[in-house]
Amino acid sequence: MDYKLAVIPGDGIGPEIVDQAIKVLYRIGQKYGHRFEYNMLLAGGCAIDATGKPLPEETVEVCRKSDAVILGAVGGYKWDTLPGHLRPEMALLGLRGQLGLFANLRPAVIYDELKEACPLKPEIIGDSIDIMVVRELTGGIYFGERGHREGKLGQEAFDTECYSVYEVERIARTAFEIARKRRAKVTSVDKANVLESSRLWREVVIKVSKDYPDVVLEHMYVDNAAMQLVRRPGQFDVIVTGNMFGDILSDEASMITGSIGMLPSASLGENSFGLYEPIHGSAPDIAGQDKANPIATILSIAMMLKYSFNLDAEARNIEDAVNKVLKEGYRTGDIMSEGKTLVGTNLMGDLIAERI
| Tens digit of each residue's pLDDT (9 = 90 or more) over 57-92 | 999 999 999 999 999 999 999 999 898 888 998 999
Q: Is residue 113 part of a domain?
A: no
- The rounded percent of the chain whose pLDDT value lies above 90 is 83
Q: Is residue 44 part of a domain?
A: yes
Identify the pLDDT of residue 123.
79
Residues 53 and 97 occupy one common structural domain: yes
Identify the pLDDT of residue 20.
98
Residues 127 and 230 occupy one common structural domain: yes
Residues 92 and 126 occupy one common structural domain: no
Of 314, 306, 215, 225, nearest to 265 by C-alpha is 306
Last residue of a domain, one of 240, 256, 272: 256
Q: How many CA atoms lie within 13 A of 14 on its CB side?
A: 25
Which of the residues 223, 285, 312, 320 is marked catalytic?
Answer: 223
**Mean pLDDT along residues 309-337:** 94
**Mean pLDDT along residues 253-268:** 86
| Tens digit of each residue's pLDDT (9 = 90 or more) over 269-297 | 988 899 999 999 899 999 999 999 999 99
Strands of the chain (E only): list them.
2-10, 35-40, 68-73, 103-109, 130-136, 146-151, 154-159, 185-190, 216-221, 238-241, 264-268, 274-278, 330-331, 341-342
Active-site residue flag, 223: yes
When the pLDDT of each residue in the chain is averaged and rounded to a whole number, the result is 94
Q: Kindly report the CATH number assigned to the domain that includes residue 65.
A: 3.40.718.10
Q: Is residue 114 part of a domain?
A: no
Residues 6+ apart with CB under 8 A from 239: 131, 132, 133, 134, 186, 187, 189, 225, 249, 253
Last residue of a domain, one of 210, 232, 256: 256
Sort 135 into a burial class: Cβ within 10 Å, 0-12 / 13-18 / 19+: buried
Residues 241 and 263 occupy one common structural domain: no
Residues 246 and 264 occupy one common structural domain: no
Q: Is residue 204 part of a domain?
A: yes
For residue 311, pLDDT beyond 90: yes
**Mean pLDDT along residues 329-338:** 91
Per DSSP, the residues of 321-340 read: HHHHHHHTTEE-GGG--TTS
Q: How many CA atoms lie within 13 A of 109 on its CB side?
A: 19
Q: Is residue 271 part of a domain?
A: yes
Residues 123 and 252 occupy one common structural domain: yes
Last residue of a domain, one of 201, 228, 256: 256
Residues 129 and 252 occupy one common structural domain: yes
Residues 181 and 129 occupy one common structural domain: yes
Tally of domains in the chain: 2
- The rounded percent of the chain whose pLDDT value lies above 70 is 100
Which of the residues 142, 290, 291, 350 is marked catalytic?
Answer: 142
Q: Is residue 53 part of a domain?
A: yes
pLDDT band at 256 (very low <50, low <70, confident <90, very high): confident
Which of the residues 67, 111, 190, 191 is marked catalytic?
Answer: 191
Active-site residue flag, 340: no
Residues 167 and 184 occupy one common structural domain: yes
**Mean pLDDT along residues 232-259:** 91
Q: Is residue 175 part of a domain?
A: yes
**Mean pLDDT along residues 84-110:** 91
What does DSSP say about strands 35-40 and 103-109: parallel, antiparallel, or unpaired?
unpaired
Q: What is the pTM of this model?
A: 0.89
Which of the residues 11, 190, 247, 334 is marked catalytic?
Answer: 247
Which of the residues 19, 53, 78, 251 is marked catalytic?
Answer: 251
Identify the pLDDT of residue 265.
95
**Mean pLDDT along residues 253-273:** 86
Residues 159 and 275 occupy one common structural domain: no
Residues 251 and 124 occupy one common structural domain: yes
Residues 221 and 283 occupy one common structural domain: no
**Mean pLDDT along residues 234-251:** 95
Give how far Cα 309 sits from Cα of 4, 5, 27, 98, 274, Å: 11, 12, 17, 21, 10
Sort 158 into a burial class: Cβ within 10 Å, 0-12 / 13-18 / 19+: exposed
Which structural domain, as residue segments, surrounds residue 150? 119-256
pLDDT band at 352 (very low <50, low <70, confident <90, very high): very high
| Tens digit of each residue's pLDDT (9 = 90 or more) over 115-148 | 777 777 887 887 778 999 999 999 999 888 999 9
Distance CA 328, CA 309 (A): 30
177-213 burial: b if 16+ Cβ within 10 Å, else e = ebbeeeeeebbbbbbbeeeebbebbbebbeebbeebe
Active-site residue flag, 191: yes
